[in-house]
Structure 1
Amino acid sequence: MAQNQPIRIKDGEFQEGLCDFFSGGHCFEGCCCPCIVVNKTQQLLDDPDEKTPSGCGCMGCAWCLLTTFAGMSCFVGWKQRNDMRKRYQIEGGSCGDMWKNLCCPCCSVIQQYKEVEMRRDARANKVGYQTQAPMRAPGH
């Protein structure tokens, strides 16, 4: 996306579908190391202006531990998705959030990361009102 070009955010919905994981360059990372994507998503939820979120942190560790010992990483993705829907006023329900993270966790965490990333970029690239130079009288 070109710099200083506003990004249009659709109200009440995710910007991309659950199966649009190939766009945005997060497919490999999200499928091979979803814990990294989960942590980056959490960092952008905690600090929406973070330019380079880290893949290392508590939420990523929670994802790994819950996957390794209980096979229940869906709860981490569910919580993030639920938090995002509330913050950005995205329609949907808690039950649907759980099913998406239970049935297709990689697709879901990629979609969630892309959502917070796009909303961050939309704020950063917002083109505001530009003042004009003062008018001059003819001949001056």
Structure 2
Amino acid sequence: MGGHEITEELNEALQSDQPANTTTASLPGTNQPETQDSSTSLLDVDLMIGHPWTTGLFDCPQDQRNAIVTAFLPCVTFGQIAEVLDEGKSTCGCRSSCYFLLMLASYSQWILSTEYRTKQRKKFNLEEAPYTDVASHIFCPCCSLCQEFRELKSRGLDPALGWNGILAQQQGRQSDDEQLNVPPPYQAMSK
């Protein structure tokens, strides 16, 4: 089955409320048909493509503070994103400096930021859209960084807090949940 046929079948399955048709093909070297359920292939295609980002590439005004910081200091936003994606193994300052030096030396910071965009996409199973990771960071570096920042923030990992801030926030939530589950001390009724 060619790529064009798969696309047509996907579009038909998505437009109709009926389950997708099954397709048959003979196994190589045998006369026995192989039955393949199209709903399984839809799942496989979804896993290959990924889930959509929570915000679009050009939705920078949704977080105006981050958009302004990124417009003037993209290295800071990159450092914050890198620290969260590295789960605290690298610091914001270290990654910001690397980005800044690559930007000054040869405008090749896109290599580093593309690596982290790809890392984020794989971690959260996100689609590579609307452009490839490389094209996004070469032609729209600030918009790409803003989108990555917003994505982490929407998943409860606010890069502005830093990795230690995120851990502290999560521990605070856990202690709040534990306090809600603690029964009150011994109580007695009186007249």
TM-score norm. by structure 2 comes to 0.52
| Structure 1 residue aligned with 2:147 | 111
**Whole-angstrom CA distance in 2 between matches of 1:100 and 1:121:** 22
| Structure 1 residue aligned with 2:115 | 79
**Whole-angstrom CA distance in 2 between matches of 1:23 and 1:91:** 20
| Structure 2 residue aligned with 1:43 | 83
Q: Which runs of 5+ in 2 are unaligned?
A: 1-49, 159-169, 182-191
Relative distance call for 1:44 and 1:121 in structure 2 (3 A) is: closer
**Whole-angstrom CA distance in 2 between matches of 1:39 and 1:99:** 20
Write the letter of the residue equivalent to 2:101: L
1:15 aligns with 2:51: no
The 5 A counterparts of 1:54-133 are 56-92=92-128, 96-120=132-156
CA deviation after TM superposition for structure 1 residue 12, in Å:
0.9
Determine if contact 1:101/1:108 at 8 Å carries over to the other structure. Answer: yes
User: Percent of aligned pairs with the same residue?
Assistant: 23
CA deviation after TM superposition for structure 1 residue 46, in Å:
2.3
Whose RCO is larger (CA < 8 A, sep 6+)?
1
**Whole-angstrom CA distance in 1 between matches of 2:120 and 2:98:** 18
**Whole-angstrom CA distance in 2 between matches of 1:121 and 1:86:** 16
**Whole-angstrom CA distance in 2 between matches of 1:91 and 1:101:** 15
C-alpha offsets along residues 75-134 of structure 1, whole Å, 9 cap, x if unaligned? 1210111000110011228x7000000001111111111111211259x68xx9x98xxx
Superposition misfits of 4+ residues, deviation over 6 angstroms: none
**Whole-angstrom CA distance in 1 between matches of 2:157 and 2:123:** 16
Q: Which runs of 5+ in 1 are unaligned?
A: 1-10, 49-53, 132-140
Write the letter of the residue equivalent to 2:102: L
**Whole-angstrom CA distance in 2 between matches of 1:106 and 1:65:** 17
Tell me which protein shows more strand as a share of its residues: 2
Tell me which protein shows more helix as a share of its residues: 2
Bigger Rg, structure 1 or 2: 2
TM-score norm. by structure 1 comes to 0.69
| Two-structure CA RMSD over aligned residues (Å) | 2.7
**Structure 2 counterpart SS, 1:61:** helix
Determine if contact 2:67/2:146 at 8 Å carries over to the other structure. Answer: yes
CA deviation after TM superposition for structure 1 residue 43, in Å:
1.5
CA deviation after TM superposition for structure 1 residue 42, in Å:
1.0
